[in-house]
Structure formats: structure tokens, C-alpha cells
Amino acid sequence: MVMIVAVAMVPFAPASRAIGAEASVETLHFAVAVGSNGATHCDIVGDVYRPAGADSSHRVPAVLMTHGFGQSKGDLKEFAQMFVDEGYLVLAYSGLGFGGSSCLISLDDPAIDGAAASQLVSYLGGAEGIAYRDAEHHLSAPAMDAVKHDDGSGHANDPRVGMFGASYGGAVQLAAASIDPRIDALVPISTFNDLRYTLYPNSTAITSGVSSSTPGAFKHNWALGVGLVGSLTGTGGDQSVNLTGCEKLADGVCATITRGLVRGYPSAADLALAERVSPASYIDSVRAPTLVIQSQDDTFFTLNEGVALFRQLQSNDVPTRMIWQRAGHTNPNGSVDDLNPLHPDPASYVSQRVFHWFARYLRKENVDVGPLFAYQQNWLPDTPGTTYATSSTFPVGEPVSYYPSTLERLKTDPADVKDALLVMSTPEFGVVTNTDPLDLTAATTPTGPITSHQHDLAGTALSWSTAPLTSKVDVVGSPTVRLKVSAPVALAEQHRGAVGQLVLFFKIYDVAPNGLTTLVGQQIAPVRIPDVSKRFTAKLPALVHEFAPGHRIRFSIAGSSTNFGGGSSANVVWFATGGAEQVITLPVVP
């Protein structure tokens, strides 16, 4: 594959500002009807940031935004000001169930959270009977008259509006756009494609995107955190903490988390719920131009989820671009050129890309929206304007194959690999047998990636390493693994379904000359093998990492993980080396 990669040396120049930066801020309540036939009535609390000079005679485009899970509209102040400074009117609101807004937390369900956002779009388009000055919806607020309209669209109350937000505030954009064609542009950041993959990731039996025909291993640490935050309903000073449990979560959400923690495998109802609220199930209805921003240092919503969104939008001819930045759930600070989810810098490379996206699709200016793909080279000094590489194609990198050897080396020539039979075991009920870092913790520190002496109990893992590298190896993209294993217990129990399916965990390490190891991207790839009698292919979470000269690349297969539920049965697993059929492939950028 021919690839063109260039380093972005300077950030984009900001788009011209239509009006001054000063803004008035008004808190309003919005009456929305959601769910089946609009039978559920909710109150949404939001802040309207109106730039100075924006009125019925000087209309401006709007940005609609909401927050991440457990946050509130109060956490959006800096983002709102950032867009006000660019001349946009902003409506920042607390999502349903959070920060003073009523109704239940529904995991960005299009029929609920998407419908609520759509009615806020109507308000921005001038519809009456939606905005009020009180939570009881007695004191009507004036209809919005300061937002530019898409005249001639054929839709009533059609504002020129884009949506922006991260994580939970990212997926709701797709949910809203799937039912509302009036939305003109989207910028989802660090969000999900398929919650079945998010909660039960499986790196094999993939049907499309990240979706698998076989649910994987339950991501119990992150899921427990989501359940706990959901029960605390609301942060940011807008609402008192509720410690009484799950009543703020919609039907099925709490049960899904509880079942995952107890049994480690979803019910049909759990999968149906996750599928219904996942963009993967409705992405074909999204037509709004979308700038996908996903996080390299993220163990909650991996890069693969962003790639799935990007590819699905591309296949539907939706204008789209993709950026991989460092900042995310497990590394909120990121680099100086990222769009920091806590304290955004308008001058950063990613911020400027967002401004140009909205300038093109909201202001209708003839501006360059940037390259198809950009990624943050986290091995470079963190200097503004120098760390992003860009490409006119995706994926980038050429496949380089490695083959396991009995000499504890990964060979690049299968002819050098010797035949042998290696053995490991997996523990019963997924009992943890290693020292993997918790995936809720940061993958990096201000001085670089977290390193440690990481170990598996003897006999519970297999690993192979290259010889010390003579030159750097830059990996950008998803490693793939094609293997055949033998597991007699799992083979005998496969007729029992999930109970008998073998679960393994694949990892890639960077091993320094002093023996310290880095779990690259802090990514662990669960693999629940539907049929151990057959060879299988696993697609691991995408990585962005440079293996320096003198370091070694290590590939590991483990029988358990600190971050996921494992298989229910103990297994002895045989692994045969030799030939070209057992292969690990890394996408390497020259």
C-alpha cells in the first residue's frame, strides 16, 4: 500500500470570527417528550451562551453540546466559551438524569436521549413551547431568534447547528443525527461504536467494525465505575449526590452491569439493550458530516471503536475525517496539541481542526478541513505544532509479520521457526494470575508511559520477544494474530455454549534494555474462542507506539486479566509453533 505521511508543523489558523467574544449566559429549562410515542416528559436544564451582537438582525450558527457520563452542563463552560469566541451561539445542557435534568439515564438511546437533543435543535430553530425559565415549565422563555436558519431545507425550525461533546456526549450526537436531518455537523470525541464490544470486548469472530458474533470477556472495572457513577447521578455542583442505588438508571442498565459482574457473560436481554443504543445499529441513518476524534490512551473506548465509526460513515459517503489524539478516559491531559477534555486550548492542533470543520459545515466557508487521518506521535517531545502526523489514506503502515519460536524469539521469517508444543493453563472462574495495571488508571505520566516489572504466575502465560531491535519500529494501527490452539476441556464443553468457550488475553509489551516493560497503550485484548477446533484470527485494539532501538517487542498470551472476567472453566492449552500459520502481524510505518 502506498502511503503519504506528513508532519503537521503548525496548527490551522482560526476561522474568521463573525462577532465579538463577549456573551450573555442564561439558564433555561426545556420541556421534552421522549420514548415510545413521546409518553415520557422530562425537564432538561441548559445554559444558552449568546455572543454579543447576535440577535434577529445578526443571526449566527449554533453549537449544541452535552457532557460525559457523570458530569453536567457546568463542566462545559470552557468549551462553550471556546465556541463563543469563534462567533457561535452555544446551548450546553445536562443530559437526562444528570446535573439537574430529570428522567432516567438511558445510555444515549436514540428514542430517548436522541429525541431530547432533537427537541433542543427545534428550540434553536425558533420553535415555541420548549424553553422555560422554571423547572415546572410555567414561565415561558422567548423563542430563539439569534440562530441562522437553513432556509429552503424543507424542515420546520431548521437551525444551522453542529453538535460537539466527548464520551457520553459523543454518542448522543450520533443518536440525535440518526433521527434528525437538521443537524449539520458532528464532532464526537472518545465515544463508542458498539456497547456490546465496549462491555464484552471480543477480538475474534468479528462480523463488522468491532461487532462480534460471540460476546467476549466482561470489562468489569470500567463497568463497575459506570454503575457507581450512574448511582451517584450528577456532579459539577448542580445536583446533590444520590446514594440510594440504581433508580436513576433506565430499565436493564443496572441489571446488565450486575449480571456481568456476577456471571461474566451477557443475557440475550443485555445484548439487545446494548445493541439498541449503539451507533453500530443505526449509523446508516446518520448523514451529518462527522469529524471522529478518538483517544490513543484509552482502555474504555478503544481506537477500534473510532475506526468502526469512521469506516461506516465512509462507506455511506458521509463526509468524515479521523484524528487520534492522546487525551482520553485514561489520560485526560494528553499532549499540548490535543483537545484537552478538561481544559481546552483553542490554539491546539485538534481544536483548530474542530473550528475548521464547523467553519466549513456551519458557516459554509470554503476552508480546508484537513487530512483524512491524523495521529499523535507520542514518542516525540511534546512541543506545540510538531507532534501530529497526517495521511491522505487510512490505514497507514505496512504489515510486518512475526512468527513464534521455541527460542523465545519472534522471527520475521517462518522458515527459521522450529516446531514445538508449548503448554499453559487458564484458571477457573477467571482468577487473576498476573500483575497487569488496572485499566481505570492512567497509561502515562507527565514524563512518559508507565513502566513496571509485569509478571504472570508460572504456567499461566506464554510469551515471545524479538531480539533487541537494531532500528526503531513505529506501530500505527491494529495488530492481528492468527493462531491455532488445542484445549481439550474447552473442546469437550463447547456444546454447553459460553460456559465451555476458551478465553485468552493477548498483549503487546515494549521491553526496555533494563527489563522494565510497558504494556503498549495499556491495551489488553480478550479473545473468547467460539470453536477451539478451528484456527482463528484476532484483531487487537489499535496502537500508536514507537519501539526504540535496543528495545524488544514482546507478544503475550495470558489466561486471566485484572480488568476482565475470564473463562469459567480451567483449561490446559497447547500451542504449536512452526510454519507460517501461527503469525502476529504489526502495522509498521516506515
- Identity of the residue numbered 332: P
Give the per-residue pLDDT at 227.
66
User: Nearest to residue 102, comparing CAs of 40, 149, 47, 44?
Assistant: 44
Mean pLDDT, to the nearest integer, of 215-242? 64
Contact 327, 334 (CB under 8 A): yes
Given a cut of 90, whether residue 45 has pLDDT beyond it is yes
Given a cut of 70, whether residue 528 has pLDDT beyond it is yes
Contacts of 96 (CB under 8 A, 6+ apart): 34, 42, 44, 102, 103, 104, 105, 106, 112, 113, 116
Contact 223, 300 (CB under 8 A): no
Contact 160, 61 (CB under 8 A): yes
* CA–CA distance, 528 with 560 (Å, rounded to integer): 12
Mean pLDDT, to the nearest integer, of 135-146? 97
- Identity of the residue numbered 55: D
Of the CA atoms within 13 Å of residue 282, those in its CB half-sphere come to 24
User: Nearest to residue 42, comparing CAs of 127, 126, 132?
Assistant: 132
Give the per-residue pLDDT at 6.
39
Quick: pLDDT tens for 115-139.
Answer: 999 999 999 999 999 999 999 999 9
Contact 150, 182 (CB under 8 A): yes
Choice among 68-82, 152-166, 421-435 with the minimum mean pLDDT: 421-435
User: What percent of the chain lies above the pLDDT cut of 70?
Assistant: 90
Cis peptide before 279 (omega within 30 of 0): no
Fold of the CATH domain 398-589: Jelly Rolls (2.60.120)
User: Nearest to residue 322, comparing CAs of 345, 357, 294, 296?
Assistant: 294
**For residue 221, what is the DSSP state?**
H
Give the per-residue pLDDT at 232.
54
In the chain, where are the structural domains located? 20-160, 198-273, 398-589
Quick: pLDDT tens for 500-510.
Answer: 789 999 999 99
Give the per-residue pLDDT at 333.
82
Mean pLDDT, to the nearest integer, of 321-347? 91
Look at the block and give the residue holding cell 447547528.
Answer: 161
Given a cut of 90, whether residue 38 has pLDDT beyond it is yes
* Residue 376, strand partner residues: 388
Q: How far is residue 311 from each of residues 109, 122, 204, 317, 331, measured CA to CA in Å?
A: 22, 30, 19, 10, 25
Mean pLDDT, to the nearest integer, of 23-46? 96
User: Nearest to residue 255, comparing CAs of 296, 220, 227?
Assistant: 227
Look at the block and give the residue holding cell 422555560.
Answer: 132
Given a cut of 70, whether residue 4 has pLDDT beyond it is no
Look over the chain and give the mean of its residue pLDDT values, rounded to a whole number. 89
Choice among 165-174, 216-225, 493-502 with the minimum mean pLDDT: 493-502
Question: How does residue 443 score in pLDDT terms, banded at 50, 70 and 90?
Answer: low
CATH of domain 20-160: 3.40.50.1820
Quick: pLDDT tens for 200-227.
Answer: 999 999 999 999 999 999 998 888 777 6
State pTM to two decimals.
0.93
User: Nearest to residue 548, comparing CAs of 472, 481, 440?
Assistant: 472
Mean pLDDT, to the nearest integer, of 142-150? 97
Give the per-residue pLDDT at 242.
37
